Amino acid sequence: MVALLLAASWWLLYHPEYGRDVRTFGSIFAHAMFDELRGAPGTAALARSARFDDGDVAFDYPAVLRARADDDDTDPRGWDFDYGMFSLRLGAPGELDAETYLSLLADTFADGSRIDAEGPMPGRTAVVCGKEQVATRIRVRMMGSWSAMEGFDVPTGDGQTRMLIFDDEEAGSLETQLAHATYARVLGTLRCAAGSAPAD
């Protein structure tokens, strides 16, 4: 694993074109490995915020997350925010809602030999753009590690919705500090053209 991390870091250093904010496999893999080598962000890093706003949806998020816009036509309004094995996804692939998407994912991986899944089940409750919503939650096991995924549906100005999917590789059975900070920051500042979360 250490050799893999070092190789990925070297590859990223000498291939700066993959450091741009584009969704390529090479970029995602290399950055994830580099983040794992650096370790989990500390309290000071998690305290710094960045702002995302594309007109339909806006929120603050921990600045340590790397923002990536989709670079193809599969989801032209799709964005990923990631660090290491944690990711936040905003998008609408195939116009699916979060419950349908995560349910399909769990069904696909359920009872697998190398990949397994639990759920769907109710997740946390949050106010999303003025309305209380219960997230859809699943857990996915890959190579012995469990990740928890929770999804909300964010209304947009054109009457459609976009999924907001949090994906965290758990520390034991607990969410990581990065996930905890991202949930609080994003859900606490979320604004959308179709409505707004109430002020704190």
Task: Render pLDDT for 97-127 as a digit per residue (tens, 0 to 9).
Answer: 999 999 988 888 876 666 788 899 999 999 9
Residue given tokens 């399909």 in the structure block: 104
**Pick from 148, 165, 152, 98: which is nearest to 125 by CA?**
152
Rounded Cα gap, residues 186 and 99, in angstroms = 19
The answer to whether the beta carbons of residues 193 and 156 sit under 8 Å apart is: yes
The answer to whether the beta carbons of residues 101 and 167 sit under 8 Å apart is: no
pTM: 0.79
Checking if the pLDDT of 6 tops 50, the result is: no
Q: Provide the pLDDT for residue 30.
A: 61
172-176: list long-range contacts, CB under 8 Å, 24+ apart. 173/146, 175/148, 176/40, 176/86
Task: Render pLDDT for 59-68 as a digit per residue (tens, 0 to 9).
Answer: 999 999 989 8
Using a 10 angstrom Cβ sphere, with 0-12 exposed, 13-18 middle and 19 or more buried, the burial of residue 148 is: buried
Q: Provide the pLDDT for residue 36.
A: 67
Checking if the pLDDT of 19 tops 60, the result is: no
> Hey, where are the domains in the chain?
1-39, 43-196
What is the percentage of the chain residues whose pLDDT exceeds 90?
40
Q: Which tops the pLDDT comparison, 90 or 74?
A: 90
The answer to whether the beta carbons of residues 5 and 33 sit under 8 Å apart is: yes
Checking if the pLDDT of 25 tops 90, the result is: no
Task: Render pLDDT for 138-158 as a digit per residue (tens, 0 to 9).
Answer: 998 877 788 899 999 998 877
Q: Mean pLDDT, the chain, as a whole number?
A: 79
Task: Render pLDDT for 74-88 as a digit per residue (tens, 0 to 9).
Answer: 566 789 899 988 999
Q: Which tops the pLDDT comparison, 35 or 117?
A: 117
Checking if the pLDDT of 11 tops 60, the result is: no
For the domain spanning 43-196, the CATH number is 3.40.1000.10
